[in-house]
Amino acid sequence: MNELLKSYEPITLDEMKSVKLMNRTDTKFVTNTSKLCQLLKMAQQDYYVQDIDGQRNPDYDTTYLDTKAFDMYSQHQYGHANRQKIRFRTYCISGLQFMEVKTKNNHGRTKKNRIEVWDMNLNEVTKRLFLQKNLQYEVDSLQPVLNNHFNRITLVNKGMTERLTIDTALKFSNLTNGHHKDMGPLVVIELKRDGLVYSPILHMLRQLRIQPHGFSKYCMGSALTADEQLPVNRFKCKLIEINKLIKQ
């Protein structure tokens, strides 16, 4: 895969700032590394690859928090439209870390607020003030519940109207029960484009029969590593599909 990425023209972080997706729509797809290699061969003439100091497939590390009653997981499990997630994300290549709150409203739009941090200590005044402003749950009710490590490729189309993130080598560690899950060849793709502007990658995805597929890393990782404390009924069909992709 890294050899394939070498054939792409690079784009820097500064150059990517011009890709302002003001009317953004997000669509997720799930596949495996075999299909991904085919997709990367097809897309190399139409897309740049993000390059950070020579790295084109850098590591990301994420720790999700939830309440002690797992309210945020439950909101998603039962299909509530207004829901939130909170996470600490570390960009391993630079060491930068952010605390992020994602809020999805009943119109399907997701808003992300974040601040740069240096640790996950929630007693710090700046973090508490940020959470009191952006999170609908009490700060003192939060606990770390899931860690997720993965590699991410970022492609930008040459029309500068969309970004494509491609996550591979996903590994989940449940911080409440010690269970782990290596997702092997599973690949999670997210297309972020400017409204309904033409997308070259959509045609390629259809050719490869890679269909849209919702995938929340927090919820899927929790469901895959859960014991009896978490309900997984709503995710059973997705879990079956994911396990089929892993075994292909």
What angle, rounded to 10 degrees, do the helices at 33-43 and 200-207 form?
140
pLDDT in tens, 149-205: 999 999 999 988 888 999 999 999 999 999 999 999 999 999 988 767 788 999 999
- Burial of residue 16, with CB atoms counted within 10 A of its CB: 0-12 exposed, 13-18 middle, 19 or more buried: middle
Say how many domains are in the chain.
Answer: 1
CATH code, 236: 3.20.100.30
Domain extent, residue 243, equals 2-247
Report which of 116, 124, 221, 220 is spatially closest to residue 175, judged by C-alpha positions: 221
pLDDT in tens, 87-114: 999 999 989 999 999 988 766 667 889 9
Task: Give residue 188's Cα distance to chain centre.
Answer: 8
C-alpha neighbours within 13 Å on the C-beta side of residue 53: 4
Check if the beta carbon of residue 143 is closer than 8 Å to that of residue 68.
yes
pTM of the model: 0.92
User: Looking at residues 125-141, what average pLDDT do you find?
Assistant: 96
